[in-house]
Structure formats: C-alpha cells, structure tokens
C-alpha cells in the first residue's frame, strides 16, 4: 500500500484506515446496487437502511434510551449555535453559557444576536482559557446551560459535567463525542460536527431529549425546527448522504473493531498520556493548560520562540507528520489525537519531538 501521512489535523481529521478501504471497495457499486452511495436517492430503501443503521449504532454506542432522538443536519456546529436558542428558549428565562474559549464564545455570541438575554455564568478568559471553570451555580431561572465539552483550540476538556438539576444541559461535543464514556442522560441536547471523531465534514449529529421538542416555537422557519427533522427521520430535505454513510461505517468500526467506548477511551488515554508524559519530562516544549483540565483530544504545546515553531512545523511535515500548526487565533502547535489517530502515530510524533530537541535545544 502507498505511504500515508500521519495526520494530526484538528478537523477534517484522520479517518480509520479500514473505513477508507471499505469506502474504496464500495464506491462504484454499493452492495450490488450497481451504483455509488454518491448517486443514490435519499428516498431509496438502500439509503434509509444506511441512515437507520447509523442511528441505531449511535444509540447503542452512547447507551441512549427511547427518550432520545438522533438527527443528521447540515451547517456544522455553527448552525447549531443559532438553532439551540431559537428552538429551546423559554419565555422570560435567560440562556446560561460557560465560556471556555473560541467556540463557546461564538456560541454565546449567536445567542446574543437573537436579541435574547444571555448570562455568561462563568468564564476562563481571565487566564487565557487554560482551565475549566468550576465555581458557579446553575439557577432554575435559566432556559438551559450551554457548554463546550472539549476546547480544540485551547486544549481543555470537561472531565466532570456540571449538575444542572431541572435546567437542561446542552453541549457542543464536536471534538470529543465517541472518544470516552459519559452519561448521556445528564443532557437535554448534544450536537457535534462529524469531522473529528465521527466521519467527514458535511454532517452534524444532533441528539435531542424528547421533552425539549415541546419548546420548539411554531413560528420558526420549517428547516430551522428540530421537530421537522425528528418527524421526517432527518429526511426533510436531501441530507448529506455520503457523509451519513461514512458516519455509519465509522460507528461500525467503533462498535465492532474497537469494541465500544470503554475500549476507545482506554486507547485515547494511552495516546494522551504518551504525549503529556513527554511534555512534562522536559523544558523545551511547554503545555500551558492546568493539568487536571487537559484535553485528551487536543494537546497544545509551545516552543521557546516563534522561529523554532516555524522550523518545527516545516520539519515535521517533511517527516509526514501533518496538521500540527496551532489555530490561527492563538498560534503555537497542536496535536489532535482523535479516535482514528493510532498509538504508533503518537509515538512517532514523540520520537520526532525528541530528535528536534537534540538538534535545536
């Protein structure tokens, strides 16, 4: 097989090799239909079977009961930033947000754009988003509490989700869904762009608890109502069929090859510890995040100078280590260790980092 790069891209990110091989195998003739999924009608029984299989696998993997609906939408997490407040507002009740960085800031900005009252319940902006806030109280007066479970740009992650009592907890889980076990019944709604752990760019997974559908206002445009997609099994308009198909294959890989979330979490913990243990053992590279809040998905590290960072990224790319540049908003370096990134790839990165220090330290 041709040589493949080791990709640490933050998204679109690495896909499991067996999934890519399966796509290649089925691309021209999907299971005897004589056509590609790319050409298939979204109203066909073949595509409905793909979609329904993806839904059932997601429900099994996350241990969702019958009170949850799994939807496939378009527009990325960015559209959900607006759809959440549009669908789930309650009269006279402000929205609560916890600001842990770039994407959570964007989410609360969209809520404010709707002219609703927004309460920033807690923020870690005072220390450049290097920790997860823990000192706050969720009052019953809120319509919902919104968090970003993992912060791709700042490299922090919620290890324990905040108790909210009767206030629905809503989470953007774009960058750590399917990476670890958690209790989904703590949440009223979970949404995630697929392009990090679940599939390719172009489809967003939205999981909604049934009781929240009663909040959806009648006056919203039809395509912006969650109820529309629940009632149509995500087939109100043409969905991103090929992206849903790839999500189904990734879920099959996660369930049948990896063996579920417990196994995936163990692998991801091993990868993160491998890199963090190295970072903590030396003083050339620096991770700015409070250790207890470090992300297992996105590992941030800084070199002594911007010039060395530039050289590091150039040499890494020559070695086939791709996607290590930090987000344009913050700079530095970042290794995204999503599910499809192997332990061997992380070891290769650590070996390269050691050699770079030997030459430049």
Residues 6+ apart with CB under 8 A from 355: none
* Rounded Cα gap, residues 329 and 318, in angstroms: 25
3-state SS, residue 109: helix
The answer to whether 296 touches 273, Cβ cutoff 8 Å, is no
145, β-bridge pairs: 96, 169
Q: Is the dihedral of CA 100, 198, 328, 357 positive or negative?
A: positive
Rounded CA-CA distance 90/359 in Å is 59
Distance CA 239, CA 148 (A): 25
Selecting among 59, 158, 176, 196, the annotated active-site residue is 196
Cβ burial 344-361 (10 Å sphere, 16+ → b, else e): ebbeebbebbeebeeeee
Establish whether 135 is a catalytic residue: no
- Measured CA to CA in angstroms, residue 45 lies from 42, 72, 245, 246, 298 at distances of 8, 17, 14, 17, 39
Q: 109 an active-site residue?
A: no
Distances (CA, A) of 73 to 106, 273, 293, 339: 19, 34, 30, 22
Q: Which of 103, 248, 271, 293 is catalytic?
A: 103
Annotated catalytic, 93? no
Residue of 59, 99, 158, 172 marked active site: 172
d(C-alpha 44, C-alpha 171), whole Å:
33
- State phi, psi for 16 to the nearest 5 degrees: -60, 135
Angle at 56 between CA 55 and CA 59, to 5 degrees: 90
Sorted by sequence, the CB contacts under 8 Å of residue 330 that are 6+ apart come out as: 102, 153, 154
* Block residue for tokens 């241990």: 63
Of 83, 77, 293, 50, residue with least CA distance to 172: 77
Question: Of 255, 300, 251, 257, which is closest to residue 275 (Cα–Cα)?
Answer: 300
List the structure tokens of 300. 């941030």
- Positions annotated as catalytic residues are 103, 172, 196
């Amino acid at each position: 097989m041709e040589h493949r790069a080791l990709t640490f891209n933050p998204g679109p990110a690495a896909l499991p090799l067996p999934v890519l091989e399966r796509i290649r195998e089925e691309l021209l003739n999907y299971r005897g239909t004589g056509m590609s999924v790319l050409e298939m009608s979204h109203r066909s029984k073949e595509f409905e079977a793909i979609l329904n299989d993806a839904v059932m696998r997601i429900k099994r993997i996350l241990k969702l009961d019958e009170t949850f609906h799994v939807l496939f939408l378009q527009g990325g997490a960015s559209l959900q930033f607006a759809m959440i407040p549009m669908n789930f507002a309650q009269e006279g009740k402000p929205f609560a947000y916890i600001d842990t960085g770039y994407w959570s800031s964007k989410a609360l900005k969209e809520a404010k754009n709707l002219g609703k009252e927004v309460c920033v319940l807690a923020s870690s902006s005072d220390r450049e988003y290097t920790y997860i806030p823990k000192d706050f109280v969720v009052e019953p007066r809120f319509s919902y509490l919104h968090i970003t479970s993992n912060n791709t740009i700042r490299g922090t992650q919620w290890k324990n989700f905040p108790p909210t009592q009767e206030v629905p907890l809503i989470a953007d889980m774009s960058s750590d869904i399917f990476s670890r076990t958690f209790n989904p019944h703590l949440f009223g709604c979970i949404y995630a762009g697929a392009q990090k752990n679940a599939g390719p760019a172009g489809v967003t997974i939205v999981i909604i608890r049934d009781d929240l559908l009663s909040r959806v206002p009648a006056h919203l445009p039809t395509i912006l109502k969650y109820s529309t997609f629940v009632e149509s099994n995500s087939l109100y308009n043409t969905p991103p069929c090929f992206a849903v198909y790839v999500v189904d294959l990734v879920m099959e890989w996660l369930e049948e090859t990896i063996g579920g979330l417990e196994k995936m979490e163990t692998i991801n913990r091993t990868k993160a510890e491998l890199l963090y243990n190295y970072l903590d053992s030396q003083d050339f590279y620096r991770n700015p995040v409070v250790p207890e809040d470090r992300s297992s998905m996105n590992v941030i590290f800084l070199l002594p100078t911007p010039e060395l960072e530039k050289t590091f990224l150039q040499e890494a790319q020559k070695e086939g280590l791709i996607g290590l540049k930090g987000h344009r908003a913050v700079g530095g370096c970042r290794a995204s260790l999503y599910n499809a990134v192997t332990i061997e790839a992380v070891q290769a990165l650590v070996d390269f980092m050691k050699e770079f220090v030997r030459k430049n330290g």
